[in-house]
Structure formats: structure tokens, C-alpha cells
Amino acid sequence: MRKLPLIMIDPGHGGTDPGATPESPIEAGINLAVALHLRDILENQGFAVIVTRLVDRTLSLDERVMLEHQFDSDLFISLHCNAAADPRAKGIEIWTAPGDSPADPAATEIFRAVSKAFPDRRLRTDYTDSDLDKEARFRVLTGTLGPAVLLEMGFVSNAEERAWLQSTATQVHMALAIAAGILAWHRTLKDQAHARIDDIRKSHPGAAC
């Protein structure tokens, strides 16, 4: 692990793939806006950051996965907006690959931070496996080499939530919340590393401090 993790941000869809709303590129634009705000915030905190697309362009799932392989990111976060046939559907959810995933701790911290930032928003969770993330075999979750999470920031098929997601204030606040979660996840990594060092020191009393 690098001194500070390399974070790869993946704004879902773009170009000829508008996302959840085929009639207009609403989702792709929201995803990109949040991604660019998140990049700026994380870089200001000293993280190395790569964004899979910086403009509204087409990028296949395989191309996104290959970028993650190329740069060997410490955390890959894919940003999306949801949609449903029922226009009343709403809420925020986070996804990881099925089973005990190395991304679970990051997903937990990011979702907690987003939940705290937006206490009035519905949270869509799945505790059947004792943690809050939902699980699916999405290509960007199963094809990546390192921990990968996919955040659904809300439903663009819900008129109220769509307007909320299109607000610049919401997009900035969402990026700040995600960044807070990533920082919390990074702190847990440092704490685990310190614990391992302390265990070694205990078993080797003569080791240098």
C-alpha cells in the first residue's frame, strides 16, 4: 500500500450510454459532476486520484476495468444514479461483490458518511450478511483487482430526487461525504497496520521502536 492510497473514481455511463434515463444524459452528467468534485477534494487531502473519464464520452465496462488493472488502484469507486419503473422509488445504496469482499470496510465507511451527510434521505441497505452493503456481480465490482464499491446516489426516475441530484449543492455535499468516508476507511487501514506492528513488538521485545 502506498503512503496514501490511490483512489480511482469511475463516473458511470457517458457518451452514447446516458445511463438510467435513455431519453437524456441526466445520470451520466450527475455522475461526472460528483466525480470531479470528489477528485478535487481528495487531491486536496493528498490522495493520488484517477478519474476514468473527465468528459462526456463512451467508456465500456471492460475499458473501466482495464484502467483499474493498469493503475492498480487501492480503491475503485463507481458513481451511479438509480432508476425504477415505480416513480416513487428513492434512496441511496452501496454495492460490493458477493461474499466477504475486501471492499466491505470501505463500503461501510462511505455509506455511513453519506448517511450522516443526508439524514433525511432514504437508505437502502441489506443486512442479510451482517453488513449494510448490497451485493451483485457487476463487472466493475468483480473484474477489478483491488477493493471496488458502487454507490447509487439516488433515483433519477423519482422527480423530487432527480431535482435534488441535479443541484450543484447536493453534488458538492455528496462528494464531501464520500471523501469523508474514504478518509475514515483510510484511518482504519492505518489503525490495522499499527496494530500489526504493535503485535510484532510484543512478540519481539528487543525490536527497535
Is the CB of residue 182 less than 8 Å from the CB of residue 75? Answer: yes
The residues, ordered by sequence, that sit 6+ positions from 159 with a Cβ below 8 Å of its Cβ are 87
Percent of the chain at pLDDT > 90 equals 76
What's the total number of domains in the chain? 1
pLDDT digit string (tens) for 111-125? Answer: 999 999 999 999 987
**Is 110 contained in some domain?**
yes
pLDDT digit string (tens) for 151-167? Answer: 999 999 999 999 999 99
**Is 208 contained in some domain?**
no
pLDDT of residue 1: 47
Percent of the chain at pLDDT > 70 equals 85
Q: Report, in angstroms and rounded to the nearest whole number, the Rg of the chain calculated over CA atoms.
A: 18
Q: C-alpha grid cell for residue 189?
A: 487501514
**Is 53 contained in some domain?**
yes
pLDDT of residue 132: 79
Beta partners for residue 149, in sequence order? 77
Length of the chain (residues): 209
Range of the domain at 134: 6-203
**Is 1 contained in some domain?**
no
pLDDT of residue 120: 94
Task: Round to whole Å and give the CA distance between 131 and 13.
Answer: 28
CATH number, position 106: 3.40.630.40
Question: Which band of pLDDT confidence, cut at 50, 70 and 90, is reported for residue 197?
Answer: very low
Using the predicted structure, report yes or no on whether residue 205 has a pLDDT greater than 60. no
**Is 176 contained in some domain?**
yes
Task: Round to whole Å and give the CA distance between 24 and 9.
Answer: 23
pLDDT digit string (tens) for 15-39? Answer: 988 887 655 579 999 999 999 999 9
Sheet holding 48-51: strands in order across?
Answer: 48-51, 6-11, 75-82, 148-155, 93-96, 134-135
CA-based nearest residue to 71, from 149, 2, 151: 2
Using the predicted structure, report yes or no on whether residue 204 has a pLDDT greater than 90. no
pLDDT of residue 192: 64
Average pLDDT, whole number, for the chain? 89
pLDDT digit string (tens) for 61-93? Answer: 999 999 999 999 999 999 999 999 999 999 999
pLDDT of residue 190: 75
Give the pTM.
0.88
